[in-house]
């Protein structure tokens, strides 16, 4: 985060209280790390040589080269952004999530009888299950879609699920 981790403190406390912003060094020591940097900075924070020890890397990035008012999207030449992230952190278990809606929309108030849907994708079933549980604990409805190669593309910018806001009824029976 270009404004420093303190700028995220209140935002994260409002969500759950268990999430914290960390330095890159601290993040590498965590069991679950959220990659939340601009696309152009991904290669600055991830290197293939880094040993993640099988920790989970949640890729929240979108492939913007520039933002409003002059949006530009990276041409990945057939790759998905998450496949690139996965190659940059090969010893991590990469899961794509939290990227299809703006942060403010994900946690925006809604009717108490529904949960907001959050899509995720990954190649490691155990990592996907762990992130699904985390998403549920945050009061959201996770929908795992499959692999990074296939489902990751559905969730990317210009993909059919990017920007799609769905609410799921809570089943109390």
pLDDT digits (tens, 9 = 90+) for 61-98: 988 888 778 888 888 888 889 999 999 999 999 999 99
27 in helix, strand or coil?
A: helix
Assess contact for 165 and 119: CB atoms under 8 A: no
pLDDT at 76: 84
pLDDT digits (tens, 9 = 90+) for 99-113: 999 988 998 988 999
Ordered alpha helix ranges (H), the chain: 9-15, 24-28, 42-45, 81-88, 103-106, 125-137, 151-155
> CB atoms < 10 A from the CB of 9, how many?
12
Mean pLDDT of 131-142: 96
Residue 140: which pLDDT band, with cuts at 50, 70 and 90? Answer: very high
pLDDT at 2 over 60: no
120 in helix, strand or coil?
A: strand
pTM: 0.85
Please state which architecture CATH assigns to domain 5-169. 3-Layer(aba) Sandwich (3.40)
Q: Can you give the residue ranges of every domain in the chain?
A: 5-169
pLDDT at 20: 66
pLDDT at 42 over 70: yes
pLDDT above 90 covers a percentage of the chain that reads: 55
């Amino acid at each position: 985060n270009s404004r420093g981790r303190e700028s995220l403190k209140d935002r994260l406390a409002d969500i759950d209280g268990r999430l914290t912003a960390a330095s890159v060094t601290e993040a590498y020591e965590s069991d679950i790390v959220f990659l939340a940097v601009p696309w152009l900075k991904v290669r600055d924070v991830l290197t293939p040589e880094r040993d993640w020890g099988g920790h989970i890397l949640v890729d929240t990035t979108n492939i913007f080269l520039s933002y409003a008012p002059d949006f530009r999207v990276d041409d990945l030449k057939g790759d998905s952004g998450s496949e690139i992230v996965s190659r940059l952190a090969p010893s991590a278990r990469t899961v794509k999530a939290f990227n299809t809606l703006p942060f403010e929309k994900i946690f925006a108030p809604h009717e108490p009888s529904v949960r907001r849907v959050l899509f995720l994708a990954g190649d490691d079933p155990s990592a996907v299950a762990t992130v699904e549980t985390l998403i549920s604990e945050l009061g959201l409805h996770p929908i795992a879609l499959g692999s990074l190669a296939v489902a990751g593309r559905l969730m990317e910018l210009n993909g059919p699920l990017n920007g799609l806001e769905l609410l799921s009824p809570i089943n109390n029976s």
